[in-house]
Amino acid sequence: MKLYVVPAAPNPTKVMLYVAEREALGATMNIEQVRVNTLKGEQNAPEHLARNPFGAIPVLEFEDGRYLIESLSIIYHLEALFPEDNLQGTDLLEAALMRDMERVIELRLANPLGRYVHAVNSPLGLKPDPEEAAKIEAGLPRALDYVETLLADGRDLLAGHRVSVADCTLQSALQFARFGKVDVLGDHPGIRAWDDRYRARSAAQAVLKF
Ligand SMILES: N[C@@H](CCC(=O)N[C@@H](CS)C(=O)NCC(=O)O)C(=O)O
* Ranges of each domain in the chain: 2-81, 92-207
Q: In the prediction, which pLDDT does 39 show?
A: 86
What per-residue string of b and e applies to 157-173 under the rule 16 or more CB within 10 Å gives b? bbbeebbbbbbbbbbbb
Instruction: Quote the CA–CA distance of 102 and 30 in Å, as a whole number.
Output: 25
Q: In this model, does residue 150 exceed pLDDT 90?
A: yes
Q: In the prediction, which pLDDT does 185 show?
A: 97
The rounded Å distance from CA 48 to ligand 1 centre is: 13
Q: In the prediction, which pLDDT does 74 show?
A: 98
For 176-187, how does the pLDDT look when each residue is reduced to its tens digit (9 = 90+)? Answer: 999 999 999 999
The rounded Å distance from CA 152 to ligand 1 centre is: 32
Which residue lies with its CA nearest to atom 1 of ligand 1?
Answer: 70
Average pLDDT, the chain: 97
Q: In the prediction, which pLDDT does 107 show?
A: 98
- What sign has the CA pseudo-torsion 157, 170, 189, 94? negative
The rounded Å distance from CA 71 to ligand 1 centre is: 9
pLDDT above 90 as % of the chain: 97
Q: In this model, does residue 4 exceed pLDDT 90?
A: yes
pLDDT band at 164 (very low <50, low <70, confident <90, very high): very high
The binding-site residues of ligand 1, defined as CB within 6 angstroms of any ligand atom, are 9-11, 38, 43, 55-58, 70-71
Spatial CA neighbour of 9 closest among 39, 33, 29:
39
The CATH classification of domain 2-81, taken from the options 3.40.30.10, 3.30.70.1060, 3.30.420.40, 3.30.1510.10 = 3.40.30.10
Cα–Cα distances in Å, from 34 out to 16, 61, 71? 11, 10, 15
Cα–Cα distances in Å, from 204 out to 99, 134, 162, 175? 21, 31, 14, 10
Q: In this model, does residue 60 exceed pLDDT 90?
A: yes
Pocket-testing residue among 6, 11, 102, ligand 1, by greatest number of atoms within 8 A of Cβ: 11
CATH topology of domain 92-207: Glutathione S-transferase Yfyf (Class Pi); Chain A, domain 2 (1.20.1050)
pLDDT above 70 as % of the chain: 100
Pocket-testing residue among 15, 18, 57, 73, ligand 1, by greatest number of atoms within 8 A of Cβ: 57
pLDDT band at 89 (very low <50, low <70, confident <90, very high): confident
pLDDT band at 124 (very low <50, low <70, confident <90, very high): confident
